[in-house]
C-alpha cells in the first residue's frame, strides 16, 4: 500500500486522483492546489482524499505527482526529493534548466529516490531511449496545432519555428513541453530538433517523432484528442501519468 500526494488539481491531477481513488494499492491521497476551492472540491468527491498543504502532507506520502506548473516544480521539487520521496513531474519543461535538473538528480541519488517523467502527449519515447544507447544521429519533433493554439490566425499551413528544443521551449513554453522528455531520452536539448507548425485545417494536435541512428529509423505520430475536462490538454497526457502510477504499484514492469 502506498500514499500519494498530488500538486495541481486541474485535468491531469484530477484524472490521476480519481484513478488512484479506485486502486487497492493506494490507501491515502493528499491534494493541493493553489486554488483551494478546486482542490477541496476534488477531495470531497473522492473516498480516500483530503486537501492539505504540501509541507503538511509530505512526511506521510511515498510519492508526489506534480501536475501544476513550472513554478510548482521549482518551488517544491527540491523539498520533495530532500524528504526522500519519489516524484512524478508532468511539467517537464522546468528541467530545461540544466543546473536545476542536475541538482535534482544529484539529490535523488543521495536520498535513493526516483524522479519519473511521463511521456505525456507523445509516443515513441521508449524507442528513442533504447536507440540512444547504440547511438543516435538525429531526432526531430514536429508539433502541429491549430493557429488558435498559438493565439494567432493563418489561412494556410505555416512553420512558426524550426530549431533546437532549447530554443523552442523559450518561444513556445506551453506548446512544446513534450520536447523536454524527448530531449532527455535521446540527444539532449541542444541536438534535438523541433519544428512547430500552425495548420488551420488540422482537427487534432499532432506530435510526430522522427529518429535515426545505428538502430535504424523510427517514426511515431500521435493525433491527440482533448481531455474531456480541459480541451487545452491532451487526454493522452493524463493517461501517461496514470500509466506511471500503475507502474509504481505493479510488480510487472512493461517497456523501459
Active-site residues: which are they?
A: 207
- Measured in whole angstroms, the distance separating CA 149 from the mean position of its chain's CA atoms is 19
Measure the CA–CA gap between 137 and 214, rounded to whole angstroms. Answer: 8
d(CA 1, CA 216): 42
Q: How far is CA 132 from CA 88, 129, 166, in A?
A: 23, 5, 19
Whole-angstrom CA distances from 184 to 77, 96, 177, 179 are 18, 9, 12, 9
| Residue 7 Cα to chain centre, angstroms | 13
Listed residue (138, 96, 64, 128) closest to 53, CA to CA: 64
Amino acid at each position: 500500500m502506498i500514499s500519494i500526494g498530488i500538486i495541481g488539481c486541474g485535468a491531469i491531477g484530477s484524472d490521476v486522483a480519481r484513478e488512484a481513488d479506485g486502486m487497492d494499492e493506494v490507501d491515502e491521497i493528499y491534494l493541493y492546489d493553489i486554488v483551494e476551492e478546486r482542490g477541496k472540491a476534488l477531495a470531497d468527491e473522492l473516498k480516500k482524499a483530503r486537501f492539505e498543504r504540501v509541507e503538511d502532507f509530505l512526511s506521510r506520502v511515498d510519492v508526489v505527482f506534480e501536475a501544476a506548473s513550472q513554478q510548482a516544480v521549482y518551488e517544491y521539487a527540491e523539498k520533495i526529493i530532500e524528504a526522500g520521496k519519489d516524484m512524478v513531474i508532468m511539467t517537464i519543461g522546468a528541467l530545461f534548466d540544466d543546473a536545476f535538473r542536475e541538482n535534482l538528480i544529484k539529490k535523488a541519488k543521495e536520498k535513493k529516490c526516483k524522479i519519473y517523467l511521463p511521456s505525456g502527449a507523445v509516443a515513441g519515447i521508449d524507442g528513442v531511449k533504447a536507440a540512444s544507447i547504440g547511438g543516435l544521429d538525429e531526432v526531430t519533433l514536429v508539433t502541429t496545432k491549430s493557429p488558435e493554439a498559438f493565439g494567432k490566425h493563418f489561412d494556410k499551413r505555416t512553420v512558426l519555428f524550426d530549431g533546437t528544443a532549447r530554443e523552442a521551449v523559450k518561444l513556445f513554453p506551453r506548446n512544446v513541453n513534450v520536447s523536454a522528455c524527448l530531449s532527455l531520452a535521446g540527444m539532449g536539448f541542444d541536438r534535438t530538433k523541433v519544428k512547430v507548425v500552425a495548420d488551420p485545417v488540422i482537427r487534432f494536435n499532432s506530435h510526430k517523432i522522427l529518429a535515426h541512428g545505428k538502430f535504424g529509423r523510427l517514426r511515431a505520430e500521435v493525433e491527440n484528442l482533448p481531455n474531456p475536462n480541459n480541451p487545452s490538454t491532451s487526454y493522452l497526457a493524463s493517461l501517461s501519468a496514470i500509466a506511471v502510477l500503475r507502474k509504481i504499484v505493479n510488480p510487472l514492469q512493461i517497456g523501459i
